[in-house]
Structure 1
Amino acid sequence: MNFSINYILQDWQVNQETSSKSRLILLMFRSTRILGNLPAPFSLFSSFYRALYQFVVEWILGVELPWDTQVGPNLKLLHCQGLVVNHETIIGMNCTLRHSTTIGNKILPDGTASGSPKIGNNVEIGSNVVIIGPITVGDNAVIGAGSVVVKDVPNRTVVVGNPARVIRTLNTPLSLMNNESQQASELASVSNHSNTDSLYR
């Protein structure tokens, strides 16, 4: 991966209305993606920078976004607190993650770990969401606040609940919505439909 200021700053503009914390986390994340992979004789510096990233972002700022996670451009982080992402997760471009959300694997009956989710492009994920297992969240999907997602989510659908289920299909991709308040109202409206059914029903 070639060093590029544009690469490091690729999430800056989309987070201009979030917080300085979001920008700092993503600046460090992108730079660690580069500096953490430097070959010898810079391997010692790479190890130090990875450790610094982990100390600042995980221990101090309370966000677990491993430096080696595959993330597309224009990631937006809202209310950066309590976010946990497994390093095997794949996140597409133009996605939004909110606080208290967990994206990762699960322990199988034989004691091994499952695969991790693959998140498509232009996906909106609400707060307090859990997405676990080797599942795919399709492009332009909306995950309502408080949802527990354990199955694939089709493209352009809104899912809510525990376990999450499709409540409707979007006619317009989120990537084409110009009004951010319209996107926010999508998440607010679906959160009112969430329920507390058992994950293992």
Structure 2
Amino acid sequence: MGNWHARQSAIISDCDIGEGTEVSDFTILDGCEIGEDCKIWRFVNLYGCELGDECMAGSNVEIQDGVTVGDRCRIQSHAFICSRVTIEDDVFVSHGAKFVNDRYPPSGDADEWEETIVREGASIGTNATLLPVEVGENAIVGAGAVVVDDVPPNAIVAGNPAEVISYQDAGAASH
């Protein structure tokens, strides 16, 4: 374990935590690899996942077993990221966003779960729901969108089901 800071009321088991990472009260971390200079807020449950360097997990976030989150990602409060999700570098996941790995729940069989990939620089809006899809590089998923199909790079999608409403200039995409 690195030189990280955790308060007395955090429960941390079998984790590798990088230098400069802060873990707030009332947090449970189990079997995680967390990079350097991260901030884990209150009431966060992380188990069996990997977070890169300079990430933030807001209050009431849950990230499940087998999830990989790249560097410099922000996972805002109340987001739920289920198993079989990969989030690349510089991704923003807004408040209350939810990921789904089982198209026909409850299958009860993890072998039937599907993966989701969110490519570098993408943004996921507040209360968006993503079924097993690929979100392209620098794409934007609007607030409340229900994403059932892959999202092309630089696309802006919105609605239920989400549809492409526009494209942003690839050179202008940034956070």
Which category of TM-score, normalised to the shorter sequence, fits these structures?
A: 0.5 to 0.7
Cα distance in 2 for residues equivalent to 1:4 and 1:174: 37
Cα distance in 2 for residues equivalent to 1:109 and 1:91: 23
- Relative to structure 1, the CA distance from residue 76 to residue 109 in structure 2 (aligned partners, 3 Å threshold; closer, same or farther) is closer
Higher helix fraction: Structure 1 or Structure 2?
1
- Relative to structure 1, the CA distance from residue 149 to residue 129 in structure 2 (aligned partners, 3 Å threshold; closer, same or farther) is same
Whether 1:32 and 2:32 are equivalent positions in the alignment is yes
Following superposition, the deviation at residue 57 of structure 1 comes to 1.5
Alignment-mate amino acid for residue 152 of structure 1: D
- Relative to structure 1, the CA distance from residue 68 to residue 9 in structure 2 (aligned partners, 3 Å threshold; closer, same or farther) is farther
Cα distance in 1 for residues equivalent to 2:73 and 2:19: 11
Following superposition, the deviation at residue 98 of structure 1 comes to 1.0
Q: CA RMSD in A?
A: 3.7
Following superposition, the deviation at residue 106 of structure 1 comes to 2.2
Following superposition, the deviation at residue 170 of structure 1 comes to 1.1
TM-score, length of structure 1 as denominator length: 0.57
- Relative to structure 1, the CA distance from residue 173 to residue 70 in structure 2 (aligned partners, 3 Å threshold; closer, same or farther) is farther
Quote the sequence identity (%): 24
The answer to whether the Cα contact below 8 Å between 1:141 and 1:158 also exists between their aligned partners in 2 is yes
Q: Which residue of 1 aligns with 2:60?
A: 62
TM-score, length of structure 2 as denominator length: 0.65
Alignment-mate amino acid for residue 137 of structure 2: D
Task: Spell out structure 1 runs of 4+ moving beyond 2 A.
Answer: 7-10, 106-114, 172-175
Cα distance in 2 for residues equivalent to 1:137 and 1:127: 16
Whether 1:118 and 2:114 are equivalent positions in the alignment is no
Q: Which has the larger radius of gyration?
A: 1
The answer to whether the Cα contact below 8 Å between 1:93 and 1:120 also exists between their aligned partners in 2 is yes
Following superposition, the deviation at residue 172 of structure 1 comes to 3.0
Deviations 1:141-197 (A, max 9, x none): 00000000010000011000000000111113455x4xx6xxxxxxxxxxxxxxxxx
Higher strand fraction: Structure 1 or Structure 2?
2
